[in-house]
Structure 1
């Protein structure tokens, strides 16, 4: 008779072995930006070294789309040619900004790689921006050149952009062909800026989040570490290159796709399968079938649409991992996923992070979700998470407070905004997330954002808690809760319930359902029942400012 092994303890043992002295992921403490920080003893010091590693994967698939295929060797050749062109034709050098304004394409990542070869800073502009937002971004980061797809090149022309614009379909192939030769090499330091990505701008102007060489390389090694942990858990040796194939459906101007999907594959030799254009469930699932995709990190909106499709006509047997990223999702929704999507039964993960954190701060595994259905998980490798009270002290287990994060993945700061950087990161390099939550048994639970908090008659009401309850209702596809001004109470609670057939759902039934599960002051008093999806930004977060009730 064998003794049962606690999976969590087993994983902890694997993690300890991988990071002990002499092990591949040996961790040491070094001074980083004036703060003692845990870093890998043996690590790459620049993204140029990461590009060197990728060359070794040769003819293996790196970037795959519905109509194209680019190997690691072809990627290296394209990066080298474009880098030489940017330097020789446009004078791009260390510290200059190279703007990228485009939908997801292999050329997006070629432009990123070329910028790194020159020690320049890639700037991933939001491809969904309107003309005034584009003009703001160009003025804010003053790129020396912008690489754009045809649609955004036309928008740049309409906006009167003075900066040279290189089109992906015409200019890049010509420039690459005209500038053959080895990839340029430019000395950089670990804490030099590598990329600027913009916050989603749910309030005020979008801020430019600066990630350094160290940030991105640490994130790459976090993903390699997790590959090694999973291999150990399965009783297999950790080996690279990897045969995994990752589906990329979120924008490359977001950390989920750039920092945490495309870049780590340069180190592991796995393939990135890129879905381009608007999210179409049939096209995406056919791509999964054809390319035998093994892992997919989706935003909840995509998963919602997935469940509206008849999945019986697709071969999804290659999927071995499925995660929900960038926006909150409820336990009720997780249950619906498990019922319809086979991989979600055995390999569903949920994460919590933000652009400023660089990567997921916490991840909830299938086991975590089984024990705590509403958790967003435990701190990942290299991350410290604290919940702090109003005085900035660590809050006891179960008490709400602001979620604070410290890791080698946390941004350097906001581009040209010292005041905002100082407000977000303290002297010990702790990032104040602006999100509220609490810890219990090492797991993090979300309450909501400070900006979403509803103050009703002296009571703090967190929309996320109410939304989680409403999503349990069998007729509700998704929901959003906001506060509306009230002369007497300051604010009242209002809710949008998205359902398939509004005529078949009565407000009274929703109110009774909520009242049976929530304190009276949390029950919405104003309702909108609609079939229209909630307004969301590029990262899948609900745009509460766009909701009217």
Structure 2
């Protein structure tokens, strides 16, 4: 009988062969932006190369939805046509930004590939942003055009940037030309390819810039994982795996770690469209024989709330992972107890928009041996715990999680100060998260001190506080995260009203709805006339405020 220790030793030996000198996924140090970092030797240098290579999968299916099926060959041909229209008829050139403001769709994916394959930069706007937030994004990223669905297009009325329709323009452009050459462009590895927005402690969203190198490193990381499984005797060919995509495409989990690598591996994506519905998702698992599912804890919790799922055939699911938000050991235990497919397949991970992919992954073995850990750093990631002076701390001591790899973002778009605060000249990324290492595994203590993670969405209080403070009846306010059984956390606001004010929480909620994405609008309110507690320097003592 093989023990867990033996299994880990076998995996490490296989990994050493795959990544060592002469291995298919050889890792060797190379210069990356002035710093020596481990990189995959046998990698692509530009994203259009992945598109070109994908035609070898021909009639295999790349993306399927509830009512559409798109092969790799069809996808490549349609992207070629769309890229030609963008370049020749809309003047999109290398380095230009093309923003996408839309819910998940096949057209979102095709717009992505057409844009990056001509050297332009995809700007993935959060599909839940308000009109005000979209206006900020357009002003900040300065896209040459925006691709939007009907809901987002209505919020963009009056903008001076051309807006193309997801449902009308993109399908027409994708079939405008037949048998055209696949797009290509001369780009450097460290040229920008994608900008994804993440909230900042200053209260305004920051655009994390991801390069061709970043995304192609993620591709090799996933190809390596597939090769490792195959070498360890995984019965199902990685190409025959079916990956459920129910996470937003403006997140690294959906775009960088699913849509992009699967074009390189020849495996299928089952794209779930619309609001999450447990019954509809489970029916898709049945119908498409889905093998891999990456979910935020909120989705997993809704499966638990759905009750008995024995009426659904989930026997194909052999990989179920949690991402984008923290979850407790007890929650994971409930998943293993109540979801048959989670019993032996559940894994957890830790990553940031800035890191492009997972920083650390906790396997089923890690979760069993060390509940509460987030596992070990993934291949190619260097991780240190540092004190406030930047000194590396020994194992077991608590400090800031710092990481370095070829996956890490280039920086923040048009924000040198924020970039300098996050990434040093030696390319170490300061996450702002507090944790410790124990037996090589990462444990998080605090995830960005003030951060609220609501159903997988990052919410920074400063942005909401800025909006509420502009209301004439608000003297001061503080926004906090409060525990929520489904979402993990909900947004709570404590508002100090001006003397004589009769403002209500309903009125403040209505005001916030007009200024913020719905997931940022507080759902718990406490109005008071008492001043917020502050320390000697005038800062609010957050720990002393109850939601």
TM-score range, shorter chain: 0.7 to 0.9
Q: Deviations over 1:269-296 (max 9, x none)?
A: 0011111111111111111111110000
**Is contact 1:84-1:183 (8 Å) kept?**
no
Alignment of 1:234-383 (within 5 A): 234=233, 242-310=239-307, 311-383=309-381
Q: 1:196 maps to which residue? A: 195
CA distance in 2, matches of 1:220, 1:149: 28
Deviation at 1:184, TM superposition (A): 2.6
> Is 1:223 matched up with 2:217?
no
CA distance in 2, matches of 1:541, 1:230: 40
Distance 1:325 1:189, change over 3 A: same
**Is contact 1:44-1:50 (8 Å) kept?**
yes
**Is contact 2:244-2:292 (8 Å) kept?**
yes
Q: 1:533 maps to which residue? A: none
Deviation at 1:21, TM superposition (A): 1.6
The count of residues paired between Structure 1 and Structure 2 equals 475
Q: Deviations over 1:339-384 (max 9, x none)?
A: 1111211011000000001110000000000011100110001111
Alignment of 1:385-396 (within 5 A): 385-396=383-394
CA distance in 1, matches of 2:196, 2:228: 30
CA distance in 1, matches of 2:33, 2:113: 25
> Is 1:41 matched up with 2:36?
no
**Is contact 1:202-1:543 (8 Å) kept?**
no
SS, match of residue 341 in structure 2: helix
Q: 2:207 maps to which residue? A: 208
> Is 1:412 matched up with 2:410?
yes
Deviation at 1:176, TM superposition (A): 2.5
SS, match of residue 213 in structure 2: helix
Q: 1:397 maps to which residue? A: 395
Q: Deviations over 1:114-157 (max 9, x none)?
A: 11121000111111000000000011111111111122122222
SS, match of residue 56 in structure 1: helix
Deviation at 1:496, TM superposition (A): 4.4
SS, match of residue 185 in structure 2: coil
Distance 1:147 1:2, change over 3 A: closer
Q: TM-score, normalised by structure 2?
A: 0.82
Q: TM-score, normalised by structure 1?
A: 0.82
CA distance in 2, matches of 1:359, 1:353: 6
Q: 1:186 maps to which residue? A: 185
Distance 1:178 1:497, change over 3 A: closer
**Is contact 1:327-1:541 (8 Å) kept?**
no
Distance 1:200 1:67, change over 3 A: farther
**Is contact 1:326-1:541 (8 Å) kept?**
no
CA distance in 2, matches of 1:169, 1:542: 26
Q: 2:144 maps to which residue? A: 144
Q: Deviations over 1:386-431 (max 9, x none)?
A: 1111211111111110001111100000001011000000111000
Q: 1:438 maps to which residue? A: 436
CA distance in 1, matches of 2:188, 2:300: 40
CA distance in 1, matches of 2:200, 2:253: 17
Deviation at 1:112, TM superposition (A): 0.5
- Unpaired runs of 5+ residues, structure 2, are 454-458, 462-477, 487-516, 526-546
Q: Deviations over 1:155-178 (max 9, x none)?
A: 222xx1111111121111222232
Distance 1:31 1:379, change over 3 A: same
CA distance in 2, matches of 1:187, 1:108: 24
Deviation at 1:200, TM superposition (A): 4.0
Distance 1:236 1:338, change over 3 A: closer
SS, match of residue 229 in structure 1: helix
Deviation at 1:3, TM superposition (A): 8.9
- Unpaired runs of 5+ residues, structure 1, are 454-462, 465-479, 483-491, 501-539
Q: 1:21 maps to which residue? A: 21
Distance 1:495 1:277, change over 3 A: closer
> Is 1:125 matched up with 2:91?
no
**Is contact 2:146-2:161 (8 Å) kept?**
yes
CA distance in 1, matches of 2:302, 2:4: 39
Distance 1:374 1:89, change over 3 A: same
Distance 1:544 1:226, change over 3 A: farther
**Is contact 1:299-1:325 (8 Å) kept?**
yes
